Amino acid sequence: MAAITGNEARFEKTTFSILVAVSVCHMLNDVMQSLLASLYPMLKENYQLDFVQIGLLTMTFQITASLLQPVVGIVTDRWPMPFSLPVGMASTMIGLILLGSAHSFPMLLFAASLIGFGSAIFHPESSRVARLASGGRHGLAQSLFQVGGNAGSAIGPLLAAFVVLPLGQHSVAWFSAIAMLGMVILTWVGRWYAAHRRANASKKAPSRTLPLPQSKVAIAFAILVLLTATKNVYMSSLSSYFTFYVIDKFALSVRDAQLMLFLFLGSAAIGTFLGGPIGDRYGARFVIWFSILGVIPFALMLPYANLTWTIVLVVLIGLIFASAFSAIVVFAQELVPGRVGMIAGIFFGFAFGFGGLGAAALGGFADTHGIDFVYRLCSYLPLLGLLTILLPRIPGHR
């Protein structure tokens, strides 16, 4: 057996420096992206928008990412592009600058599309890097990567509440400095990624043999996509309209509503982190089951809770429901091996895209039936997660 060189040995274990780097960049990326949703109350007032237009903003951002992410994933599965990561961050930076200086609704839509384009490039390749650096601990790597994004989504509303709201819409452009930092880190990650490819150039490509019959894989994959859709429409209803909901129902100030949104998004970040290591130990299927069954009673109670219980329930919902996503991605990667970029593109992209479609539809319901009706309607969505019972067990995995 040939001796393993120092350079090769470096890639045989979990590379935490790279995992932390992509997680931090995921945080920076999603801080910038979450500013869009956090600014909705201000944009609604500044541009006299209705809820349908708010939904269109979300849809433009998320559909741009949804349509392009699977394409990026499929292309980079075939032709890896280590230095595409800073390019995606640059697109997000330009979108932020335009968002801070926009003078019309079409310009807001264009800015949202550039932010979505940045997401489409960033997520598939950075998810691939996380898996390459995992050393076989795929759940841990995916949760570390994902928790960075959730942390960024939680920090965004705080920045909106304490920086953008007091200083005005133009201050959004200042956050382009965050993108510059991300571009520097991702350039370093790209160099590691390129070195990893060179070190493993002589190794046999990962097998793409399906672990189950094609029909079973197709059914399981469809269920995972449906679970992702259900989860993200529900989470989109909270992230896009939760501030309006608590302002309308409990007469809170905009700042207090933003703080409640932070509680929800922060608990979702913690849930995402916990889901990966638990999945490595007990299996991704177990985590998916726990997440789906655990959230149903709390989701059904939320529309009828008072302020105190609303705070408790959204924290529990964030903790439990968010734990499923990294497990779903890992399960799909094991179900369709050798297609990491495609899987990341479909699930991250589909998550954004279907959430955007749901946000637009829910905006219409909010205008015609009221925001409280939207939350009563969404409380039944987690029940679709009972389809998890149809997920097969993958041979050789828990």
Q: Which domains does the chain have, with CATH numbers?
A: 17-198+210-390 (1.20.1250.20)
For residue 310, the model assigns a pLDDT of 93
Band (314; pLDDT cuts 50, 70, 90): very high
| pLDDT tens, residue by residue, 167-185 | 877 788 788 888 889 999 9
Q: Is the pLDDT of residue 257 over 60?
A: yes
Distance CA 322, CA 253 (A): 27
Helices (H) then strands (E): counts for the chain: 16, 0
Whole-prediction pTM value? 0.68
Q: Do 155 and 31 meet the contact criterion of CB atoms below 8 Å apart?
A: yes
Band (144; pLDDT cuts 50, 70, 90): confident
Report the largest interatomic distance among the alpha carbons of the chain, rounded to a whole angstrom. Answer: 71
Kindly list the distances between the CA atom of residue 51 and the CA atoms of 77, 149, 165, in Å, as whole numbers in the listed order.
39, 26, 20
Q: Is the pLDDT of residue 356 over 80?
A: no
**Contacts with 95 (C-beta within 8 Å, 6 or more apart), sequence order:** 111, 112, 113, 114, 115, 116, 117, 118
Band (123; pLDDT cuts 50, 70, 90): confident
The residue among 308 and 258 whose pLDDT is bigger is 308
Mean pLDDT, the chain, integer: 81
**Contacts with 12 (C-beta within 8 Å, 6 or more apart), sequence order:** 4, 135
| pLDDT tens, residue by residue, 181-231 | 999 999 999 899 888 877 766 666 666 677 778 888 888 888 888 888 888
Question: How many other C-beta atoms are found inside a 10 Å radius of the C-beta of residue 175?
Answer: 22
Under DSSP, is residue 252 helix (H, G, I), strand (E, B) or coil? coil
For residue 258, the model assigns a pLDDT of 81
Instruction: Supply 30's token pair.
Output: 């999603």
Among candidate residues 115, 122, 126, 125, the one with its CA nearest the CA of residue 88: 122
Band (8; pLDDT cuts 50, 70, 90): very low
The whole-number average pLDDT for the span 30-41 is: 78
Angle between helix 138-159 and helix 324-335 axes, rounded to 10 deg: 140
The residue among 305 and 1 whose pLDDT is bigger is 305
Distance CA 369, CA 372 (A): 8
Q: Do 35 and 159 meet the contact criterion of CB atoms below 8 Å apart?
A: yes
Kindly list the distances between the CA atom of residue 5 and the CA atoms of 10, 12, 202, in Å, as whole numbers in the listed order.
9, 11, 13
Band (268; pLDDT cuts 50, 70, 90): confident
Question: How many other C-beta atoms are found inside a 10 Å radius of the C-beta of residue 103?
Answer: 8
Q: Is the pLDDT of residue 316 over 90?
A: yes
Distance CA 18, CA 148 (A): 13
| pLDDT tens, residue by residue, 379-396 | 898 888 888 888 888 775
